[in-house]
Structures are given as C-alpha cells and as structure tokens.
Structure 1
Amino acid sequence: MANTGIARYKLLLIEDDRPMAEAMKGLLLQWGFQVVICENFDHIMEQYGAAEPHIVLMDINIPAYDGFYWCKKIREVSSVPIVFVSSRESSMDIVMAINNGGDDYIQKPFDPHVLVAKLQAIIRRTYEYRTTDQHVLACGDILLNLNDAAIHCGNESIELTRNEFKIMRILMERKGRVVSREQLMKQLWDDDCYVNENTLTVNLNRLRKRLEDIGAPDYIRTKKGMGYIIP
C-alpha cells in the first residue's frame, strides 16, 4: 500500500539490468515514490542534475566505471542519500560503498519490504526535519520560523527581508540538492518584469553576511557553474 507521505520524493535508479530496474521501479511506484531510471551510463551526472532526486539507488556493476566512482562524483556536488543495491557480498565491497560516500548497502536478492523500509528510514532522517511545530524548518543549527521570517542560530536570531526569507526557505526545503540561479530567480521574481541577475547576487551576499553575523558562516555553499546548496 502506497505511503502518501513519500509521494513528493524522487528516486534516481542507476541499474543496468533493465528487467531488474523495471521491477524495482514498479515496486517503488506502488509505495508512492517518483522513480527515474538512468538511461545513459556514460552521462550519469547529467541525468542526476536533470532529475534532482531526493535519493539515489545504485548498483556497483554498471557499464561505465562503477558505482563507487559515480558515488564519489555525486558527493562532489551533493549530500543526497545514496543506497547501493548489489549482488556483491564481500565485506570489502560494503566498506568501499560506505567509504566512498554511500549511506547504506542492500544485497541482492533482497526482500522488497526491507528495501522500502530502509528507503523510508533514510528519507525520514534526511528530509523530515520539520519540528512538531509545522511553522518551523530546521537544518543543522539553523531554525527558520515560517510565521515571522526569523532565523535562529543558538542564542542569536535575526529577522529576514522578504527575498532573504524566500531564498532560505527554498534552500532549506531542498537541503542536500543544488538550486540553480535560474530556479531561485523564478521563485523570487516570477512575473513578466526583467530582473538583473546582479540583484540575486546582492541578496545572496547580504544573506550570507547576516548568517555569518549570527555564527553560521559558509552555511550556503556555491557550486561553481551549478548554483547554491545547503549541504
């Protein structure tokens, strides 16, 4: 039975055994996940960027390089959860999977219920960061109050401007994923008027300075040529 709370989460499946990939997709769709199957193993990073998944499910043995290599490449730009699913069973494979940035390792053949339970647990740990007060977002040491647009870090707090608040909310809700400048501009100024890109830069620089003042330097990271991320 599908878990409707999972429905907003997208999964990128990197599996070169097509019948296995389709079977896994069918299972995960039943549980409410959105599923994108990798189609080109020479361009995994491009497909990762296009899909913007909340979680990656990856085999080790794939045609181009291997899963360890692509896990490291993804880790260069994102802290998105990565779960290995492989028929390889040596303890060294598990160690390498974790050491290269993987979050979990599931051996084939697997119990479908175990796979789903593990994915749900990782998503809860990674993305269910809302407190019992649904008007607050929390990522790391930062709390964002959605009612009054105030940021709290330890004993320090500041009130954000309209644009600063929008930027923080977008990045916190997409924690671990890169948000492009184009996406931010569309969210901030989604109308017919022309807005100079420098306006976004000014807003981001001011927000970073304010975060630094309350003890959160480098909270918003720049991924050159890609956009911004809260890791």
Structure 2
Amino acid sequence: MHQIMIVEDDPKIAMLLEQYIAKYGYQTARTEDFSQVLEDFKRWHPDLVLLDVNLPKFDGFYWCRQIRLISHCPILFISARGSKMDQVMALENGADDYIPKPFDADIVIAKIRSQLRRAYGSYAPKMEERILTYQDLTLYPERMELVRHDQSVDLTKKEALLMEALLKRPMRVVNRGQLLEKLWDDQDFVDDNTLNVYVARVRKKLNELGLNGVLETVRGAGYRLRLEEEEE
C-alpha cells in the first residue's frame, strides 16, 4: 500500500485530504511540526508528498529542495498561490506537479494515481538496480543503503556517492581530487574541510556495521577502503 505524506498547515484542509486519500486505499502521514519536515520524510519514507507552499518556518519550495537532495519521490504542490510564477518556481525547485486551491478532490486523487504509476507502476522505467559489493559489504546507490550481513544503515546522497567511489577501488587509494569531483560539480567553491566532514560521517556509518578503522586516511594522497579477507 502506498503512503502519502501530507505537509499542510491548515488542519481542516489536511484532515480533508487525509480522509479522502484514505477512501482510495492509501496510507497517510501528516506533518505537524513544520520545522521537522525533512526528518518526517526520512522517518516515514513516503511514496508521494503533498506539499503546501505557505508554511511556518520555511516555505514549501525550501522543503522540496531538501527532499530532492535525497529522493526522487513524486512531490505535488497544493497551494492557494496559483500564479504562473509560483507554478514555475515549484517545478524549478523539483516538484512534479502543482494543484491550485481551491482544489477538486477527484483531481487530487487522479494526479496522485498518475504520479504513482509513473514512479512505481506501469509507466515506471524498467531499470535494473545497481549493486556494488566487496567481500561482505554491499552498497545500493539508488536506495542510499549500505548493508553488511543482517545490518544496514541509511546514507545521504553525498555519503552514498563517497562510498560508491571507494567501493569501486577497494584497497586502493582514491585521491581527494577524484572524490571532490565525484561529490560536487564545482569543487572550486567547496571548502576542503567539507570532504573531511563527509568522510567522518561515512566512517561513523561503517562503525555502526562493525567495520572500525577500515576507511583509512593516506596522508597527502586521499582515502582507502581496506577490508580484511574473511576467514572461512
């Protein structure tokens, strides 16, 4: 069953959407703390997001950009701001469609169904999932998930890119320039310490999988993923 995340600060509209969507067999999850939209998204892993523009703290455009950094999940804006510019901004910030208020509930459901078909159903592109494995460590780049035995950890997009670069060259040094190019399009504007931060985060994720000290710093060169051969 698909889950729909609702980010709407008008409780009456949010409740109306919940009730109507549930009638069509979808699960719903509603954000109530609008400073924690991204945290809710990471916790719920919804299949589609309904997102208002006018929200407390940060607007919907901001949250759409944040979600797009980690997910290709369909995002539909529902907003009273129905100008052409608002619709253009929504699409440019990563939205898949824009529904102006007041909305017709049947149109909302039709658009939800259409986006779910495109993302997961009959219209979804048939692509084989990439899997990178070295010894007992497996990376699923598109899922942004790292697995060892029966344990797994979630990665951010940058962490997954970093791990992918290292897993493609296990036991060999990957220099800092290669990693900067992999993670950022314009490395001239990246503080050198930023890469250190992401390396530290990936080390922490590896530690959670019981792999302490396997991501080595090679002074003056870069980093190396060193995994010992498992004993039979």
The two structures have a TM-score, normalised by structure 2, of 0.60
What is the identity, as a one-letter code, of the residue corresponding to 2:57? A
How has the CA–CA distance of structure 1 residues 130 and 82 changed in structure 2, closer, same or farther, with 3 Å as cutoff? closer
Measure how far apart 1:138 and its partner are.
2.9
What is the identity, as a one-letter code, of the residue corresponding to 2:126? A
Match of 2:25 among 23, 32, 54: 32
The answer to whether the Cα contact below 8 Å between 1:58 and 1:82 also exists between their aligned partners in 2 is yes
How has the CA–CA distance of structure 1 residues 95 and 20 changed in structure 2, closer, same or farther, with 3 Å as cutoff? same
Map residues 1-231 of structure 1 onto 2, 5 A cutoff. Answer: 7=1, 9-128=2-121, 138-139=126-127, 143=128, 178-179=144-145, 181=146, 184-185=147-148, 188-189=149-150, 205=167, 225=201
- Structure 2 stretches of 5 or more lacking a match? 152-162, 171-181, 183-197, 206-232
How has the CA–CA distance of structure 1 residues 167 and 127 changed in structure 2, closer, same or farther, with 3 Å as cutoff? farther
The answer to whether the Cα contact below 8 Å between 1:129 and 1:138 also exists between their aligned partners in 2 is no
Q: Deviations over 1:157-178 (max 9, x none)?
A: x9x99x79x966xx7xxx6x54
Which SS does the other structure have where 1:89 is aligned?
Answer: coil
The answer to whether the Cα contact below 8 Å between 2:21 and 2:109 also exists between their aligned partners in 1 is yes
Show structure 1 runs of 4+ deviating over 3 A. 224-227
The answer to whether the Cα contact below 8 Å between 1:78 and 1:178 also exists between their aligned partners in 2 is no
The two structures have a TM-score, normalised by structure 1, of 0.60
Which SS does the other structure have where 1:96 is aligned?
Answer: helix
**Count of residue pairs brought into register by the alignment:** 170
- Structure 1 stretches of 5 or more lacking a match? 1-6, 132-136, 145-150, 152-157, 191-200, 209-217, 219-223
How has the CA–CA distance of structure 1 residues 18 and 92 changed in structure 2, closer, same or farther, with 3 Å as cutoff? same
Q: Distance in 2 between matches of 1:122 and 1:41?
A: 24
Identity of aligned residues (%): 33
Q: From the CA coordinates, give the structure whose radius of gyration is larger.
A: 2
CA RMSD across the alignment: 4.0
